[in-house]
Amino acid sequence: MKLRDIIRVVEGKVLTEGVNLDMEISCAAGADLMSDVLAFAKPNALLLTGLVNPQVVRTAEMADIAAIVFVRGKMPGPETIALAREKGIPLIAAPYTMFEMCGRLYEAGMASCDLDTKQG
């Protein structure tokens, strides 16, 4: 699924400039614990989260997460946006709860980032 389609499904707004909307997203995960995000680490994944602190971007950088969607219209602070810009990780704000957004994306055919037993 392309990032463009995801943004349409969650009615999101892109918070960082220069985003490649045709980027292919392989799977999605809804998570608020950064260690959990690091555990499912897969390239080209989409993270839906209720956290907006800079560590979310750091975690995405370490785990090669392709893009981050913030739930319930939460807006990250300037530090978070600056770090995302520096690392080239698109940030998207969307109005719905994590439950609603996971549901919508699942209905739209998005795959889940399933946990591997082996790291990778």
Partner 1 sequence: MSQVPQITRIQELIYELPIERVVTRNVITVSPDTTMSELKEILRINRISGTPVVEGGRLVGIISIEDLIKALESGDIQAPVRERMATRVITVQANESVVEAVKKFAQYKVGRLPVVNEHGDLVGILTGGDITRGLLEAIGLDYHAEEISRYRARHIFEDIVSDQTGLILRYHIKPRDFTGGGSASSKIKRALDRLGAPPLIQRRVAIAAYEAEMNLIIHTDNGGELIAEIQPEVIRIVATDNGPGIADIEQAMQPGFSTAPNWIRELGFGAGMGLANIKKCSDSMKLESQVGVGTRLEIVIRIQPVMSSGNAARPSEGQQKQETS
Partner 2 sequence: MIALAEIVQKLNLEVVGSAENLDRRVVAGYASDLLSCAMNRAKKDYVWVTLQSHANVVAVASLLDLAAVIITEGNRPDDETIARAESEGVCLLLTPKTTFTVVGELTALGVRGEPEQP
Taking CB under 8 A as the rule, does residue 111 contact partner 1?
no
The least CB distance from residue 111 to partner 1, in Å, is 13
The least CB distance from residue 104 to partner 1, in Å, is 23
Based on CB atoms, which residue is closest to partner 1, 34 or 105?
Answer: 34
Q: Select the residue interacting with partner 2 from 19, 29, 66, 83 (CB under 8 A).
A: 29
CB-based contacts of 32: which residues, under 8 Å, 6+ apart? 49, 50, 51
CB-based contacts of 20: which residues, under 8 Å, 6+ apart? 3
Taking CB under 8 A as the rule, does residue 120 contact partner 1?
yes
DSSP 71-101: STT----HHHHHHHHHHT--EEE-SS-HHHH
Mode of pairing for the β-strands spanning 91-93 and 27-30: unpaired
Q: Select the residue interacting with partner 2 from 22, 114, 119, 120 (CB under 8 A).
A: 114
Taking CB under 8 A as the rule, does residue 19 contact partner 1?
yes
44 binds, among partner 1, partner 2, none (CB under 5 to 8 A by kind): partner 1
Amino acid at 117: T
Q: Considering only the stretches 15-23, 48-56, 61-69, 84-92, report the one whose residues sit in contact with partner 2 under the rule CB under 8 A.
A: 48-56
List residues bridging with 14 in a β-sheet.
Answer: 92
